[in-house]
Amino acid sequence: MILAEGEQTVPSWRLLVPMPQEIVWSLIFLVIFALVFMKFILPRLTAVLDERTEKIEGGLRKAEQVQEQVDQLKNDQEQELAAARQEAASIREKARADGQKIVDEARARAEAESERVLAAGRQQLSAERIAASTELRSEVGTLASDLASKIVGESLSDDERSRRVIDRFLDDLESSQTTTR
Amino acid sequence: MVAAPGSARIEIHNVAGHPAVGPRPREIELNTADLSPTLHAEGDSLFHIPTLDEFFPEALLFAGTPFEFNRVQLVRLIMIAVVLIVLCIIASRAKLVPGRAQSIVELIIEFVHNGIIKNTLGLKDGMRFAPFLITLFVFLLTMNIAGVIPGLNLAGTSVIGLPLLAALWTFVVYVVAGVKKRGFAGYLKHETAPPGLPKPIYLLLVPIEFLQVVLIRWASLTIRLLANMVAGHIMMVVFIGLTHGLLFSASWLTVISPFAGALAIGIYGFEIFVAGLQAFIFTILAAVYIQMATADEH
């Protein structure tokens, strides 16, 4: 309406109906643009984009792997540590047992030694006592018979009888000694 | 709108000598130096209604041949030259750790991947169409954005050639994808005769669906983009021209001009948004059509 009032010199149908020159130039521009864009620009850019995606994915995967490795290592280490701790504990235990054993052995040996020393002493003592008593017996016999002969004033010719007397005397002496002890 | 109360004062009619001069690019008509002689001339219009001539400027080169080169083609040429050179430089310097420029380009590619392909075709099946869809998106964005670049001021897609060719390209891509998957007859059956309907319905449905596939889809893609860009350009021209006309009207209407100016700036911002939105809509519809052609089930 108002447009029709204007200074329009081009028929309105030309808005929707392309002229040959319009098609020709549009086609040239479209083809040039599409060719350059699709053959050069886009491949380069998508290559870079893909490369980046790959890099990021690769990086993520690698990080995951490294994390896994770290976990594995940590696990191993912990296991080793636990094993080492256990071993240390067992070694300590064994050492303690060994020590105990050594102490026991030493004690046993010492006891045996003291026992032996004691026994030897006792033995020696009894031997000495026996020797002493034997010696004493003969000496005391002689002394007593001498004394008796002196006291009686006569030699007791009968040896048989005098020995019997002496022995009885000594036995009495011994028994009286044991009762007094 | 803003002009309504003052429209009686802003006389809108033909400039006396204009048809003889012939259509001139709007950018020159909007020029202060060009307009000033007619500003105070009694009976001359203060404000030119933009017409379709905007989109069909006179030839710069090869006039009358099939290679007629006018301002629209110049805008397109500048845009694709600049964009391709910049992108080639960025692509040839592409590094694993991106710089700022590379990040922006990658952002666009990622946007098509995640915003369009992932939601329609799925990333697994859709990646083989990614080059086509990304190219389409960047191409349309480039051409649309030309409409808001000062000095160019005209979207490359606001004349029918480019939208039409982009839509036909889409048409070829989705038909080829469908035929490759099912064979010619299988594809036609898949697109036009969805299973599980009563027989008589097919009499009605098959022609409609057929028309849809072979004509309506690409035609609607073309017209949607073209109409948006044409309307956006006309709106901007109207509001910028109105602001200008009001400002130099040398009457109380000058007071209103800041409002018209604010509106013009608002529409300029809106057009930036529309440029991106239309490229997005075109591309996502292309992806949806491919998905319809190659989907296993309806």
pLDDT for B112: 92
Closest to B51 measured CA to CA, from B67, B29, B80, B20: B29
**CB B39 within 8 Å of CB B248:** yes
Query: Cβ–Cβ of B161/A34 closer than 8 Å?
Result: no
Contacts of A47 in chain B (CB under 8 A): 94
State the nearest Cα–Cα gap between A44 and chain B, in angstroms. Answer: 6
Closest to B276 measured CA to CA, from B167, B127, B157: B157
* Residue B240: both structure tokens together: 């910028």
Q: What is the pLDDT of residue B10?
A: 42
Q: Distance (Å) from the C-alpha of residue A57 to the closest C-alpha of chain B?
A: 14
Q: Are A13 and B220 in contact (CB under 8 A)?
A: no
Residue of A nearest to B45 (CA): A6
CA–CA separation, A79 and B74 (whole Å): 78
| Interface contact A25-B69, CB threshold 8 A | yes
Q: Distance, in angstroms, between A1 CA and closest chain B CA?
A: 11
Q: Which of A20, A33, A45 sits opposite B84 (nearest CB)?
A: A33
Residue of chain B whose Cα is closest to the Cα of A48: B96
Contacts of residue B233, defined as CB under 8 A and 6 or more positions apart, other chains included, come to B50, B54, B55, B147, B153, B154, B155, B158
CA distance A32 to B79: 12
Cross-chain Cβ contact B52/A24 below 8 Å: no
Pick the closest to residue B71 from B98, B53, B85, B48 (CA basis). B53
CB B171 within 8 A of CB B217: yes
Cβ-based contacts of A34 with chain B (< 8 Å): 135, 139, 169
Which regions in chain B score pLDDT beneath 70? Answer: 1-46, 297-298
Mind giving me the DSSP string for A115-180? Answer: HHHHHHHHHHHHHHHHHHHHHHHHHHHHHHHHHHHHHH-S----HHHHHHHHHHHHHHHHHHHHHH
Asked if B102 contacts B89 with a C-beta cutoff of 8 angstroms, the reply is no
Q: Mean pLDDT per 10-residue run, chain A (181 residues)? A: 53 86 92 93 90 91 94 95 95 94 93 92 92 85 76 64 78 76 57
Asked if B55 and A26 come within 8 Å (Cβ–Cβ), the reply is no
Which of A2, A12, A25 to mutate against chain B (most B CBs within 10 Å)? A25
Nearest to B84 among A3, A27, A36 (CB): A36
C-beta separation of B163 from B226 below 8 A = yes
Nearest CA in chain A to B48: A6
pLDDT value of residue B197 = 83
Measured between beta carbons, the chain A residues lying within 8 angstroms of B230 are 15
- Inter-chain touch B49–A2, beta carbons under 8 Å: yes
- Min Cα distance A67 → chain B (Å) is 25
Closest Cβ–Cβ partner in B67, B77, B90 for A29: B77
CB pairs under 8 A between A and B: 148
Which of A14, A33, A54 is the best mutation test for B, with the most CBs of B within 10 A?
A33
**How many helices (H) does chain B have, and how many strands (E)?**
13, 2
Q: Residue B60: what are its φ and ψ, rounded to 5°?
A: -95, -35
Q: Residue B205: which of B191, B218, B219, B186 has the closest Cα?
A: B191
Lookup: tokens for B109: 């590619």
Question: Greatest CA span in chain A, whole angstroms?
Answer: 201
The token pair that represents B95 in the structure block: 């590094």
Of A8, A25, A52, the CB nearest to B161: A25
Chain A residues contacting B via beta carbons under 8 Å: 2-3, 5-10, 12, 14-27, 29-30, 32-34, 36-38, 40-42, 44-49, 51-52, 55
Tens digit of each residue's pLDDT (9 = 90 or more) over B194-238:
888 888 888 888 899 899 888 999 999 999 999 999 999 999 998
- Chain B nearest-CA distance from A56, in A, is 11
Chain A CB contacts of B87 under 8 Å are 37, 41
Give this complex's ipTM: 0.79
Query: How much is the pLDDT for A158?
Result: 66
